[in-house]
Structure 1
């Protein structure tokens, strides 16, 4: 039976999946626009630091006002309506909530909410890739101990990549590389909120007329978001980040099997079993033909001459040897697809991708020469961007994760292009997010021997 029919059966039985959403930003709003259209889903509560923002989001996506006027979770349960609140942990603790969607984008908040879900035994869809890249390996262990499902968000790229990887391995193929597309040029690593709109080609009028957050947009441009997402994929799919970080080769969909194969076979990968992000721009700024800017992919290898022959017979695009091919999805629909995660958890007990180990990490890296006494401003800011590293290298170097590089002060200079370490900053070991991350480092450092 399909997810749709299983949800419909729950609706008919009067037992919908009762959901709490934390964060009414873009991703949360996109999910909320679709949730009423799927059978068997009931968004019981929406928590946001600014409930008026949530109210405005619901109006914008077309919810009738009477749908979100409930005064309590209990009332919302009885009436089939929704309550708005600024108390996320109270929402998590409410009796009857089955699945929490964490869509704040704040790494510390994501850790806090995930641990609350573990205490109250609520399944969690972690939209917040910032939190997952920072501490997902230990969160996933705590969730397993609590008997809850910890899941990526379908519609976001890590979940869609994990799905393709799972398809390939279940069909008996060895995955050579998996990743996504983006717009990239090397100069973007130094981009700041002051330069971001020029790189995107937005005019002053466009920016003034829309809801544009320059630091958030810059985190996509400067490579940080790509690094976070590829860390999540590496940790979910037992893949290894390239030792030198993401290379962002310019590549269209037709060239995936040729470029995204090991260097020993003629490609650009240092080894197989890795992650990589492909650019929609050539290094001179020209657009790549048939780019994958909005999509995801995996490359895989024919295990025998017979399978290589099948690749040819059924029209798969391959490298010149015929051994390597690729499967890709050209688009992702962000929060519009999130209901698939909720449904998969509720009616199958399965995550749509989940963290399984600690293979990849994202370390704060200086955008320019930084001086002692400077205050770091985190993802998409003026001081650092996130660089993907193998976790073993990050642990060995004492790398400062990008998710904690907001508001910390440098105690010594860091040269442009160099990773920032814990020894380079002053920090409070009592900060909950820092304490949890440091605990995770000790756990995995000990397991690595």
Structure 2
């Protein structure tokens, strides 16, 4: 509860947390808007494939050109300004930088960036949760080997959910379920970047104003991102995942204790201790009152009569039995909240969520009938969506992780709704991402 005070101390002592950012898109821009007000954090450099776009985004969120006018990383470190360039390797190897924020959204590239940062003794905040979903446990292991911290990004729903799970457990409660909300109908599984704004809830004009990437936002709508983030939550908390994928039970924030309990007790879960996603739409497409679409939640259990009596005495909203209760945040602020991770890692040496096990995996599932020779275009695209599966079952079946379903050619035709296997694609086995995944599979 004193991160802000400690950041101010670092500023007063002229010893700010020194940060480098790879990727200045939407999430990165949201962080850029906040770091302007935090003198205890010095953004030394940004590496982006298009420095011009990065600088345009910086101006858009309030940066003056003078503030990012440093001619080099050395100049930035000495002057207190920020350097913008396109060389990520120079960024992650620069001795002045303490923490690297990986914010590209590309899982294969994110793995390269993280591992190189580890080799250079840098902590890593990984915004690219797609990479964490299919080999977060391996990245955490490599960070530990290097003596640095690897962390999820606060502001994204996985880290916020982990925070709620930790709260419940640190209070002495058993966690029954945890997860996030989502706007879901089964037909959204087939959504593409061409149709995303028809269903998302904002106009194309507003999407363009916000410089929103339709492929990235479609990865939320088609169920890929909920699967990805649920996998990350499971792997960080040890909660189980549904055997056949997320079910998206319908309910608002005040319904969670009823719907997120075992089916044997009237809920939607296979058993206690699972991840799930609450839908903000009924199956008929009607909005759910007081929805949790943009939020996160945890359901916990009052095991003893005394605890349940306390719930009642303090008017806690419980399920119908009085046994289960929930805590939730109805909103998450994405990159606007990322400074919490910077402060937690930089001041306390604590990750804001990190994989400690291999519970969940996200497999690539055909979004339509696919022909041999087609090129898969990854999450949010036109060819595949992501499905959550138990990691051990996914490895045993040879399923292709969604994070590796980018720019790979199909060798075999795949029917709509069918998981794709490694043997169905021409995968490049020389990539660092592929090798790291296979190394992790040996640990499971």
TM-score (norm 1): 0.97
Do 1:223 and 1:386's aligned partners in 2 also have CA atoms closer than 8 Å? Answer: yes
* Structure 1 position 158 matched with structure 2 position 158: yes
Instruction: Give the secondary-structure state (helix, strand or coil) at the position aligned to 1:166.
Output: helix
Report the counterpart of residue 134 of structure 2 in structure 1: 134
Shift in Å, 1:176: 0.5
Report the counterpart of residue 287 of structure 2 in structure 1: 287
Shift in Å, 1:274: 0.5
Instruction: Give the secondary-structure state (helix, strand or coil) at the position aligned to 2:328.
Output: strand
Whole-angstrom CA distance in 1 between matches of 2:213 and 2:18: 32
Whole-angstrom CA distance in 2 between matches of 1:335 and 1:262: 34
The 1:14/1:255 distance shift into structure 2, 3 A limit, reads same
* Structure 1 position 272 matched with structure 2 position 272: yes
Shift in Å, 1:135: 1.5
Shift in Å, 1:210: 5.5
Whole-angstrom CA distance in 1 between matches of 2:398 and 2:48: 34
Whole-angstrom CA distance in 2 between matches of 1:160 and 1:208: 28
Shift in Å, 1:411: 1.3
Report the counterpart of residue 447 of structure 1 in structure 2: none
The 1:357/1:95 distance shift into structure 2, 3 A limit, reads same
Unmatched 5+ residue regions in structure 1? 445-449
Report the counterpart of residue 92 of structure 1 in structure 2: 92
Report the counterpart of residue 197 of structure 2 in structure 1: 197
Instruction: Give the secondary-structure state (helix, strand or coil) at the position aligned to 1:327.
Output: strand
* Structure 1 position 404 matched with structure 2 position 431: no
Do 2:26 and 2:212's aligned partners in 1 also have CA atoms closer than 8 Å? Answer: no
Shift in Å, 1:74: 1.2
The 1:207/1:167 distance shift into structure 2, 3 A limit, reads closer
The 1:203/1:119 distance shift into structure 2, 3 A limit, reads closer
How is 1:257-336 mapped onto 2 (pairs within 5 angstroms)? 257-336=257-336
C-alpha offsets along residues 294-336 of structure 1, whole Å, 9 cap, x if unaligned? 1000001102000000001111111111000000011111111
Do 1:100 and 1:122's aligned partners in 2 also have CA atoms closer than 8 Å? Answer: yes
Instruction: Give the secondary-structure state (helix, strand or coil) at the position aligned to 1:364.
Output: strand
TM-score (norm 2): 0.98
Do 1:135 and 1:436's aligned partners in 2 also have CA atoms closer than 8 Å? Answer: yes
The 1:202/1:39 distance shift into structure 2, 3 A limit, reads closer
How is 1:12-411 mapped onto 2 (pairs within 5 angstroms)? 12-203=12-203, 205-206=205-206, 211-411=211-411
The 1:352/1:303 distance shift into structure 2, 3 A limit, reads same
Report the counterpart of residue 418 of structure 2 in structure 1: 418
Do 1:125 and 1:152's aligned partners in 2 also have CA atoms closer than 8 Å? Answer: yes
Shift in Å, 1:372: 1.8
Shift in Å, 1:385: 0.1
Instruction: Give the secondary-structure state (helix, strand or coil) at the position aligned to 2:36.
Output: helix
Whole-angstrom CA distance in 2 between matches of 1:207 and 1:100: 29
Whole-angstrom CA distance in 2 between matches of 1:117 and 1:177: 34
Whole-angstrom CA distance in 1 between matches of 2:72 and 2:96: 13
Moved over 3 A (4+): 201-210
Shift in Å, 1:109: 1.2
Do 1:263 and 1:270's aligned partners in 2 also have CA atoms closer than 8 Å? Answer: yes
Instruction: Give the secondary-structure state (helix, strand or coil) at the position aligned to 1:178.
Output: strand
Unmatched 5+ residue regions in structure 2? none
Instruction: Give the secondary-structure state (helix, strand or coil) at the position aligned to 1:400.
Output: coil
Whole-angstrom CA distance in 2 between matches of 1:137 and 1:371: 33
Shift in Å, 1:134: 2.2
Report the counterpart of residue 436 of structure 1 in structure 2: 436
Shift in Å, 1:207: 5.4
Whole-angstrom CA distance in 1 between matches of 2:177 and 2:219: 24
Instruction: Give the secondary-structure state (helix, strand or coil) at the position aligned to 2:125.
Output: strand
Instruction: Give the secondary-structure state (helix, strand or coil) at the position aligned to 1:199.
Output: helix
Instruction: Give the secondary-structure state (helix, strand or coil) at the position aligned to 1:37.
Output: coil
C-alpha offsets along residues 258-282 of structure 1, whole Å, 9 cap, x if unaligned? 1100111211101111000111100
Aligned positions, number: 444
Do 1:4 and 1:39's aligned partners in 2 also have CA atoms closer than 8 Å? Answer: no
Shift in Å, 1:422: 0.4
C-alpha offsets along residues 368-392 of structure 1, whole Å, 9 cap, x if unaligned? 1222222211111111100000101
Instruction: Give the secondary-structure state (helix, strand or coil) at the position aligned to 1:363.
Output: strand
Whole-angstrom CA distance in 1 between matches of 2:306 and 2:181: 31
Do 2:26 and 2:211's aligned partners in 1 also have CA atoms closer than 8 Å? Answer: no
